[in-house]
Amino acid sequence: MRRRDFIMLFGGAAVWPLAARAQQAERVRRIGVLLSTTETDPEGQARVAALRQGLEELGWTEGRNIKVDYRWGAGDPLRVRAHAAELVASKPDVIIASPSSVLAAVQRETRTIPVVFAQLVDPVGAGFVASLAHPGGNITGFANFEFAIGTKWLELLKQIVPSVTRVAAIYDPATPAAPGFLPLIEAAGRSSGVDVSTHNVRDVGEIERVLNAFAAQPNGGLIPVPSALIVNKRDFIISLAHRLRLPDVSAFRYYSANGGLASYGVNNIDLYKRAASYVDRILKGEKPANLPVQLPNRYELVINLKTAKTLGITVPPGVLAIADEVIE
């Protein structure tokens, strides 16, 4: 063999391992996403857009080095369970699942595939993690608020509409965290001279029956406790509240943006963008067990003045002064 041929052969052999390592480093990673909304829901699309943005800023781009499989629960527990089983069977590198009803379905299917949540109440009490600082299993993520925020919803409703003496808190019993808000809302009602009645609802028929009966008496208000059902049926609830002239305070901006009177809570879209940082760290080898659950760092108060005018409500200047956003 000539010396030149030997050098070329040796050099080529040295290049192959490098090329193989580069190819391996750029291999496509698989991410499963299961959310509670419908695919066409603007809120669901906003969550996905925030997640994509967060991933792209960290160097993960769909079609290049990640493949993302999306599933949409549409507030249907049977669909959620079926999608959870499908995603787990596909063996992705990591799953993103929110809120608690969706995460519970995924947890039933796997205790090994890493899971990141982006919108959850009381992950310790719900049994998803051992502690906030040390999750300890295959699940970690970004919590949105504590049950005590229910007190604020009641107080805010009373501040905006002082004439309110009765409040209906509707919740979906299929959502693990939902009932946790109720004792605090009731306690806040007793402190404010407001009679709080709690109602579990499973579909629009029950929501309509409960609110029609409640609105038969005057001076009522409404708190829709957050859940997949409440999110997916928010347009119906808002329309019904308008017709029955029930002022309402909810947990998220999208509720007020769609016509609810007011909302107080975290910027949940930001949580999905922040969740991308944990997906990135897991794809790079870190374990969910060692990634502490992150708590929100900002809350926002949104007032819909257009809705207030429709209901004949004059929002006190003091409340408007502290609002982060006023929709007119």
Give residue 178's pLDDT.
85
Which pLDDT value is given to residue 323? 97
Entry pTM: 0.84
CATH code of the domain in which 40 resides: 3.40.50.2300
199 with 251, same domain? yes
What token pair was written down for 224?
A: 């829709």
In a domain, 1, yes or no: no
Assigned domain for 18 exists: yes
What whole-number distance in Å separates Cα of residue 234 and Cα of residue 155?
22
Residue 140 lies in a domain: yes
Whether 13 and 96 share a structural domain? yes
DSSP string, 6-54: HHHHHHHHHHHHHHHHHHHHTPPEEEEEEESS-TT-HHHHHHHHHHHHH
- Domain co-membership, 62 together with 181: no
Instruction: Give residue 169's domain range.
Output: 149-266+300-327
Domain assignment present for 2: no
Say if 181 falls within a structural domain: yes
Together in a domain, 33 and 98: yes
For residues 319 and 152, give the distance between their C-alpha atoms in angstroms, rounded to a whole number. Answer: 13
CA distances from 320 to 54, 81, 99, 100, 192 (A): 32, 42, 30, 32, 21
Pairing of strands 139-141, 94-98: unpaired
- Examine the domain organization and report whether 118 and 231 are in the same domain: no
In a domain, 92, yes or no: yes
pLDDT attached to residue 24: 47
Q: What is the pLDDT of residue 146?
A: 86
The number of distinct structural domains making up the chain is 2
What pLDDT does 115 receive? Answer: 98
All residues at 6 or more sequence positions from 7 whose CB lies less than 8 Å from its CB, including other chains: none
- Residue 34: per-residue pLDDT: 98
pLDDT tens, the chain, 328 aa long = 454 454 444 444 444 454 444 444 568 999 999 999 999 999 999 999 999 999 999 999 999 999 999 999 998 999 999 999 999 999 999 999 999 889 999 999 999 999 999 988 899 988 999 999 999 999 999 998 889 999 999 999 999 999 999 999 999 988 878 889 999 999 999 999 999 999 999 999 999 999 999 999 999 999 999 988 898 999 999 999 999 999 999 999 999 999 999 999 999 899 999 999 999 999 999 999 999 999 987 899 999 999 999 999 999 999 999 999 999 9
The verdict on 186 and 226 lying in the same domain is yes
Q: Would you say residue 135 lies in a domain?
A: yes
The length of the chain is: 328
Same domain, 131 and 26: yes
